[in-house]
Amino acid sequence: MAVSLRAMVDDVRASTIPTSSSLPRGRVVLAIARIEAWQMLRHPSFLLTIAFGLLLFRGAIGIGSGGGSMLNLAWLFGGVAVGSLIGAVLTSNVAALRGRRDHLLELFGSLPSPPEARTAGVLAGIVLGLGSLSVVIGALAWLVIERTVNMAAGADLFLAVQYPLSLLALASLGVAVARWIPSVLGGPLVVIAHVFTGLIWVVPWIATTESGIGVAWHLLYLMAVIAAFSAIAFLRDRRTVVRGAVAATMFAVAVLAAVQQTPPGGY
């Protein structure tokens, strides 16, 4: 009986597809990234949140009630920016869950690529799709705000640079949440936590230089957050000491930068 049981175990091990231990190939990651970039940009969760941002700003500011066309255009870009930040969390969360939702995890596991290829492809798709769009929106918004009399004082390159970084940071957060909490409620919970707990005011994603925030510390904070949540997402694929150390180090750097960026009198 023991011999037959051992033979059965050996047969199961022999028929199991081994997990690839090599690094993800660039061509595989790029192929996944191109698909995910297009899927995220046209996903309803992303488009609807941009529409919600536009409606919110129109109701709060009252577009068309005065102030000139440039001022209205500036608020228009503001609505798109806010909506895209929220949409980045939701659409990246959905993208990271697509394999589970479509019951394709077994298919991905049978591929010769390592399990990290899927996560790397989603993160690269965020940079390729949402990142590129945020650079265009940020540049256009900065140009419009700079030419608006009532807003020109707050327009600087710092504002244009931190918006794409903030979008990438929020999108990486959405991926990390999806990898560890495989539910479509993960993304909305992140948004709710930001709005209703006041976290967005304690550690803001976007701030002007007029607020007194430490510019270098804030940019370091955003980059550390991107690296930390990306490493946390990869930890779900394969837990290694190096990835754990990277995630912990980047998280510590983010906390340090968040403390140091705070203006002397607060926000």
> What integer pLDDT is reported at residue 55 of this predicted model?
80
Q: Where exactly are the structural domains of the chain?
A: 25-203
3 state SS for the chain: CHHHHHHHHHHHHHHCCCCCCCCCCHHHHHHHHHHHHHHHHCCHHHHHHHHHHHHHHHHHHHCCCCCCHHHHHHHHHHHHHHHHHHHHHHHHHHHHHHHHHCCCHHHHHCCCCCCHHHHHHHHHHHHHHHHHHHHHHHHHHHHHHHCCCCCHHHCCHHHHHHHHHHHHHHHHHHHHHHHHCCCCCHHHHHHHHHHHCCHHHHCCCCCCHHHCCCHHHHHHHHHHHHHHHHHHHHHHHCCCHHHHHHHHHHHHHHHHHHHHCCCCCCC
Residue-by-residue pLDDT tens, the chain, 267 positions? 555 556 554 554 444 444 445 667 778 888 888 988 998 999 898 989 888 887 877 665 554 455 556 666 667 777 788 888 889 999 999 988 887 766 665 555 556 667 788 888 899 999 999 999 989 888 887 777 776 655 555 556 787 888 899 999 999 999 999 989 888 888 888 888 877 776 777 788 888 777 778 888 989 999 999 999 999 999 988 888 888 999 999 999 999 998 888 887 665
> What integer pLDDT is reported at residue 17 of this predicted model?
41
* pTM exceeds cut of 0.75: yes
